[in-house]
Amino acid sequence: MRPFKIKLLTMGLALLGIVGLIAPSFAQQAPPSTVLFTNATIFDGQNETLAQGMSVLVEGNKISKIAKSIPVPQGATVIDANGKTLMPGLIDAHWHTMFNFAPVSTILGIDNGLLNILAADASHKTLMRGFTTVRDVGGNSFAVKHSIDMGVTNGPRIYPSGGYISQTAGHGDFRGPNDVPATFGGELDYQQRVGNTLIANGVPEVIQRTREVLRMGASQVKAMGGGGVSSLYDPLDVTEYTFEEAKAIVDIAKSWNTYVAVHINTKDAMKMWIEAGAKSMEHGFFIDDEVAQLMAENGVWWSMEPMQAEGPIAFHFESPISTAKYADLVKGLDQAVASAKKFKVKTAFGTDVLFDPELGKKQGMFLVAMQKWYTPFETLKMATADNAELLKLSGPRNPYPGDLGVVKEGALADLLLVDGNPLKNLELVADPDKNFVVIMKDGKIYKNNLK
């Protein structure tokens, strides 16, 4: 090698060494952001009694101190709440990041790249409605989740399930009417190839698919255990999967120290999946006393959605088959709530907005609809601290270790400042544009109307 080349190489290596030394020092010197809320009325997510005239200090992404008075740290952003209610960010325990913003014909017909772009845009809107965390229970939301976590896209924390695992002719089988019989071991259809749904039949196949979604980063596994509304080939009364298949899915999730959330509605299907070891019953519109008691005894959660036959949050479908099934489904909700309350079943709140672009905008209205069965306090506790308890079932698969759904020292700083008292007037959450004057997620302010 010639001398001048050696000299240039030496200089280049030296420069790289200097950059390597400087870059970490810059990162270490950057102080965490500090925000101080003063004169706030606190709903902590767990207690109905509000704490008046409090200060809350957020350092970095956590709540570091709560007291009547806190000295203002140097460089802190100070937000005078002026008596407004500071509460935890809302959590939607049954959300579909990839499917909530367009009709089914659009979702199933567009390129997956465009689908991810639209989902990222919709996720920003979800955050601005005050939902700082969602449990995604079906769809390949991994790319959107990663883009949010990287700060490339604004959106809620996502607990992803990945593609839901469905039997042939199950609730996750969105193939066309003439796409069966299929060749054994044949080519996957588009929705399976992009990972939005995964069709598996028999114990070996369900084991493989469960391991695949966990390999992709699922925090919990979503399986289809009974007939559904938006799918056309599975009547509501159908029990999906055999006990052996259900237990295989649950056992693989257990081996990864997480759990199975199962789409389900009928009594027989719920009894089978509870026996198999599933820990979260999604929907469960036909819960009765027997099933509720079984759920309570086994520590099984009910993830419910306040769906209505008519009104502003009623679902609308392109298919008359789905419309008829939906009407049949929602008839059982009053009885299901009564049984769940009677046996004190752990209950989570979700919306299940799916294939309806108008409903996503009304996410907060689903909370308001809960007043038919629950007090505002019970509703807001469910959408904050209780939902956060459900999320922790993912154990070491939890992508966001720490306390969510509460306002307490050491908790992750997901906070809403509400202009009014939602425990007195739950209607406030239906208009987040007007009433959520500050929205914070992970210690970062995404909205501040008090500037």
CATH of the domain at 439: 2.30.40.10
Are 200 and 66 members of one domain? no
Does any domain span residue 381?
no
Could you report the per-residue pLDDT of 209-228, keeping only the tens digit for each? 999 999 999 999 999 999 88
Bridge partners, residue 438, by sequence: 417, 448
Quick one: 294 and 165 in the same domain?
yes
Residues 230 and 244 in one domain: yes
Q: What is the pTM of this model?
A: 0.91
Domain identity same for 249 and 342: yes
> How far is residue 76's CA from residue 89's CA, in Å, rounded to a whole number?
21
Regarding whether 366 and 422 lie in a shared domain, the answer is no
Domain of residue 52: give its range: 34-89+409-448
Position 262 in a domain: yes
Q: Looking at the structure, do residues 16 and 44 belong to the same domain, yes or no?
A: no
Residue-by-residue pLDDT tens, the chain, 451 positions: 444 444 444 444 443 443 343 334 333 444 679 999 999 999 999 999 999 999 999 999 999 999 999 999 999 999 999 999 999 999 999 999 999 998 888 888 999 999 999 999 999 999 999 999 999 999 999 999 999 999 999 999 999 999 999 999 888 888 877 788 787 777 888 898 999 999 999 999 999 999 999 999 999 999 999 988 888 888 889 999 999 999 999 999 999 999 999 999 999 999 999 999 999 999 999 999 999 999 999 999 999 999 988 889 988 887 888 888 888 888 989 999 999 999 999 999 999 998 888 898 999 999 999 999 999 999 999 999 999 999 999 999 999 999 999 999 999 999 999 999 999 999 999 999 999 999 999 999 999 999 7
**127 in any annotated domain:** yes
Answer whether residue 394 is part of any domain: no
Whether residues 65 and 134 share a domain: the answer is no
165-193: string of b/e by CB count within 10 Å (b at 16+)? Answer: bbbbbbbbbbbeeeeeeeeeeeeebebbe
- Note whether 135 and 91 are within 8 A (CB): yes
Domain check: are 437 and 351 in the same one? no
Residue 396 included in any domain: no
Residue 229 lies in a domain: yes
Contact 266, 335 (CB under 8 A): no
Q: Let me know if residue 217 belongs to a domain.
A: yes
95 and 26 in a single domain? The answer is no
* Beta carbons of 336 and 304 less than 8 angstroms apart: yes
Same domain, 144 and 55: no
Token reading at 9: 């190489």
Q: Is residue 42 part of a domain?
A: yes
**Domain total of the chain:** 3
Q: Do residue 168 and residue 215 come from a single domain?
A: yes
217 and 136 both lie in a single domain: yes
Residue where a domain stops, chosen among 373, 396, 426: 373
Q: What is the CATH number of the domain that holds 228?
A: 3.20.20.140
